[in-house]
């Protein structure tokens, strides 16, 4: 419930504090006094997009604050997720600063939040119904939501939508697998050729590096063999000449005899030279190196490099391409089997989707019968005694919301055929239809505050009296705020707020004040006549208020 509204520098309102009560609140005032500005201010604290033009002339910024209480559990949970706690009385204070520079600021109980977060918090605080709601009522695509809200079809819609997504997923996979036989054959031929080419190449990871090393050896083998043979002779000697190793071993023995100088370094040198001779011997005795052919190595290297460049740029990528191609052939060959499986799944899913759509449709149609009767009953109370109201169902394409195309039909006068709402409803009739629908939705609407802006458009007299009574009924157990020009509606209010415009020093100011019983009589009389208030007019206004309350 909206308890308190504070406004600073919004259009013609320099500063105003407005206290709202539970029950039926009305706002009246002369045309141009600023009633619509109050609605704009409330929209601001609900997180709606607000024009900078609302900032009062001569001011750099504007401020709107609102206190909300009696919060529902959904709102409390949203606040908890945002680490915002109500005060000890269970209230929250929403403050929004508007700036000409575009740098606004929003706080909830002192915690800064974004406009998006504010809209999430505010979605269950207030419903504002005005001329745009009447326009929405004229769009048939919106009518289904009214029926689903009353029917509480959330579970039906969720079950249907899950199957709808499943069906689309099956169709998507089927489309990806379905290709004609010629296309399959061409694809398989290409894959088989690629697999055979890679298989024939016998690609092994690391082979290119090995081939490059072998090529280096093959290119310099003769020169290398001769040089290493000479080194081995120097180290080992022959039958006639001692080699370096023999000479060093003899030196080692002499040092052992002398026992005056350490031979550790000499022994280390002997070990290193023995290792070197072993490595040289390994190369010289390896027939593989002697048999290396540079031309053959070059041919193999060129072949393997060409295949690798063609299928991925590396040996690893080429082998991965091979595996993928093999898997693709298997998938194509198995696709016929998968297509049969998917076709069966598609049939099952389609049958289930039709069943769930019918289940949802039946729930809607059963609810629509009760909805039609309830709306008609209320419209008859709102001075439309011959009205007929119906919900027309047409089967359409299966969409995410089912297969029902729904449109509200109405006959306002006796003898007229039912026609779409947007074709016949006058402004006054449309306002009453909207009020009737909102009245039916009351038990399914958790929002504690409803604002009706200009709901009296196009109505007067007896109809206005009926609308006033219905608004008071809607306000039973919740808060209703109504901007009105009609005396009958204003007279029915529990709380009457007057919006007055004054000028001072060339500037325009708007004040909002709560009226006493006596002040309310004078305001109702002003609305009734717009001229000087006579004794008869005063008594008529008093009688209207007393009769309404």
pLDDT digits (tens, 9 = 90+) for 203-223: 999 999 988 888 877 776 667
Distance CA 473, CA 425 (A): 24
Q: How far is CA 43 from CA 51, 94, 102, 122, 442, in A?
A: 11, 12, 17, 10, 22
State the pLDDT at residue 295.
81
- Min mean pLDDT across 233-242, 309-318, 423-432, 461-470 is at 423-432
Mean pLDDT of 413-421: 88
435 pLDDT higher than 80 = yes
382 pLDDT higher than 60 = yes
State the pLDDT at residue 514.
92
Token representation of residue 398: 């299966």
140 pLDDT higher than 80 = yes
51 pLDDT higher than 90 = no
For helices 517-529 and 535-548, angle between their N-to-C axes, nearest 10 degrees: 110
147 pLDDT higher than 90 = yes
More confident call, 175 vs 225: 175
310 pLDDT higher than 80 = yes
| Other C-beta atoms lying within 10 Å of the C-beta of residue 194 | 19
Q: What is the DSSP letter of 55?
A: B
* HSE-up of residue 208 (Cα within 13 Å, Cβ side): 16
135 pLDDT higher than 70 = no
State the pLDDT at residue 67.
95
State the pLDDT at residue 455.
75
284 pLDDT higher than 80 = no
**Residue 273 Ramachandran class (φ > 0 left, ψ -120 to 50 alpha, else beta):** alpha
State the average pLDDT for the chain.
86
State the pLDDT at residue 132.
59
Sign of the alpha-carbon dihedral angle for 372, 376, 378, 382? positive
Mean pLDDT of 155-160: 96
87 pLDDT higher than 60 = yes
State the pLDDT at residue 282.
79
DSSP H helical segments within 220-314, as ranges? 221-236, 244-258, 264-285, 287-291, 294-310
pLDDT tens string 263-279: 888 888 889 998 998 88
State the pLDDT at residue 131.
59
State the pLDDT at residue 217.
75
State the pLDDT at residue 193.
94
Token representation of residue 151: 């029917």
287 pLDDT higher than 60 = no
Q: How far is CA 65 from CA 3, 243, 478, in A?
A: 11, 104, 21
User: Percentage of residues in the chain with pLDDT exceeding 90?
Assistant: 38
State the pLDDT at residue 246.
86
Among 9-18, 153-162, 381-390, which range has the highest average pLDDT? 153-162
3-state helix, strand, coil in the chain (%, to 5): 60, 20, 25
504 pLDDT higher than 60 = yes
Token representation of residue 434: 């909207």
- Min mean pLDDT across 261-275, 287-301, 385-399, 499-513 is at 287-301
Distance CA 145, CA 223 (A): 92
446 pLDDT higher than 70 = no
| Other C-beta atoms lying within 10 Å of the C-beta of residue 20 | 21
For residue 392, the Cα-to-chain-centroid distance in whole angstroms is: 32
Mean pLDDT of 112-119: 90
Grade residue 32 by pLDDT with cuts at 50, 70 and 90: low
| Other C-beta atoms lying within 10 Å of the C-beta of residue 33 | 21
Please enumerate in sequence order all residues whose Cβ is within 8 A of that of 298, keeping only pairs 6 or more positions apart, or say none. Answer: 215
Q: How far is CA 7 from CA 62, 85, 221, 234, in A?
A: 8, 24, 97, 106
DSSP H helical segments within 441-534, as ranges? 461-474, 487-491, 517-529
- The answer to whether the CB of 369 falls within 8 A of the CB of 389 is no
- The answer to whether the CB of 489 falls within 8 A of the CB of 482 is yes
Grade residue 412 by pLDDT with cuts at 50, 70 and 90: confident
Grade residue 96 by pLDDT with cuts at 50, 70 and 90: very high
State the pLDDT at residue 436.
86
More confident call, 371 vs 182: 371
Residue with tokens 């909102």: 438
pLDDT tens string 314-364: 999 999 999 999 998 887 877 778 888 899 999 999 999 999 999 999 999
Distance CA 128, CA 122 (A): 12
For residue 160, the Cα-to-chain-centroid distance in whole angstroms is: 20
User: Percentage of residues in the chain with pLDDT exceeding 70?
Assistant: 93
State the pLDDT at residue 290.
55
Strands 402-411 and 419-420: antiparallel
Mean pLDDT of 6-24: 89
481 pLDDT higher than 70 = yes
Radius of gyration for the chain, computed over Cα atoms and rounded to the nearest angstrom: 45
Grade residue 100 by pLDDT with cuts at 50, 70 and 90: confident
- ∠ CA 110-115-117, nearest 5°, is 75
Distance CA 284, CA 287 (A): 8
Grade residue 258 by pLDDT with cuts at 50, 70 and 90: confident
- The answer to whether the CB of 406 falls within 8 A of the CB of 146 is no
State the pLDDT at residue 366.
96
- The answer to whether the CB of 259 falls within 8 A of the CB of 274 is no
State the pLDDT at residue 384.
85
Please enumerate in sequence order all residues whose Cβ is within 8 A of that of 507, keeping only pairs 6 or more positions apart, or say none. Answer: none
State the pLDDT at residue 449.
86
For helices 294-310 and 207-219, angle between their N-to-C axes, nearest 10 degrees: 150
């Amino acid at each position: 419930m909206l308890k308190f509204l504070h406004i600073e520098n919004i259009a013609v309102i320099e500063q105003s504090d407005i206290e709202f009560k539970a029950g039926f609140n009305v706002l009246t005032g002369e045309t141009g006094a600023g009633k619509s500005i109050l609605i704009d201010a409330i929209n601001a604290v609900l997180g709606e997009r607000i024009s900078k033009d609302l900032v009062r002339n001569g001011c750099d910024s504007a401020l709107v604050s609102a206190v909300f209480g009696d919060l529902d559990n959904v709102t409390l949970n949203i606040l908890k997720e945002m680490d915002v706690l109500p005060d000890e009385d269970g209230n929250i204070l929403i403050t929004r600063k508007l700036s000409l520079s575009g740098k606004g600021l929003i706080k909830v109980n002192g915690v800064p939040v974004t406009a998006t977060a504010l809209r999430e918090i505010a979605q269950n605080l207030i419903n504002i119904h005005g001329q745009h709601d009447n326009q929405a009522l004229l769009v048939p695509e919106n009518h289904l939501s009214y029926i689903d809200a009353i029917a509480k079809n959330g579970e039906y819609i969720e079950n249907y939508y899950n199957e709808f997504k499943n069906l689309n997923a099956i169709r998507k996979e089927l489309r990806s697998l379905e290709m004609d036989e010629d296309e399959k054959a061409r694809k398989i031929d290409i894959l088989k050729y690629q697999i055979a080419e890679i298989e024939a190449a016998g690609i092994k990871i690391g082979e290119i590096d090995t081939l490059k090393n072998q090529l280096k050896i093959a290119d310099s083998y003769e020169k290398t063999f001769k040089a290493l043979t000479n080194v081995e002779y120097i180290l080992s000697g022959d039958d006639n000449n001692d080699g370096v190793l023999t000479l060093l071993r003899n030196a080692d023995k002499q040092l052992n005899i002398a026992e005056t100088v350490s031979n550790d370094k000499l022994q280390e040198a002997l070990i290193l030279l023995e290792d070197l001779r072993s490595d040289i011997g390994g190369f010289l005795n390896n027939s593989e190196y002697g048999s290396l052919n540079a031309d053959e190595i070059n041919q193999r290297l060129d072949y393997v490099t060409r295949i690798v460049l063609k299928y991925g740029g590396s040996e690893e990528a080429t082998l991965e391409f091979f595996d993928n191609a093999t898997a693709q052939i298997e998938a194509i060959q198995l696709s016929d089997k998968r297509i049969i499986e998917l076709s069966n799944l598609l049939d099952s899913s389609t049958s289930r989707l039709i069943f769930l759509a019918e289940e949802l449709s039946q729930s809607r149609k059963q609810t629509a019968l009760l909805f039609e009767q309830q709306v008609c009953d209320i419209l008859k109370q709102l001075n439309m005694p011959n009205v007929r109201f119906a919900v027309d169902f047409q089967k359409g394409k299966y969409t995410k919301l089912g297969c029902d195309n729904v449109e509200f039909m109405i006959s306002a006068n006796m003898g007229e055929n039912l026609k779409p709402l947007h074709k016949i409803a006058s402004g006054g009739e449309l306002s009453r239809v909207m009020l009737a629908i909102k009245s039916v939705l009351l038990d399914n609407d958790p929002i504690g505050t409803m604002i009706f802006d200009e709901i009296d458009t196009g109505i007067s007299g007896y109809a206005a009296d009926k609308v006033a009574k219905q608004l008071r009924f809607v306000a039973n157990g919740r808060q209703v705020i109504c901007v009105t020009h009609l005396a009958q509606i204003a007279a029915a209010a529990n709380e009457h707020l007057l919006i007055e415009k004054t000028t001072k020093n060339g500037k325009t100011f708007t004040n909002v004040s709560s009226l006493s019983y006596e002040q309310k009589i004078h305001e109702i009389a002003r609305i009734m006549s717009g001229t000087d208030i006579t004794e008869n007019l005063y008594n008529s206004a008093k009688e209207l208020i007393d009769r309404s309350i």
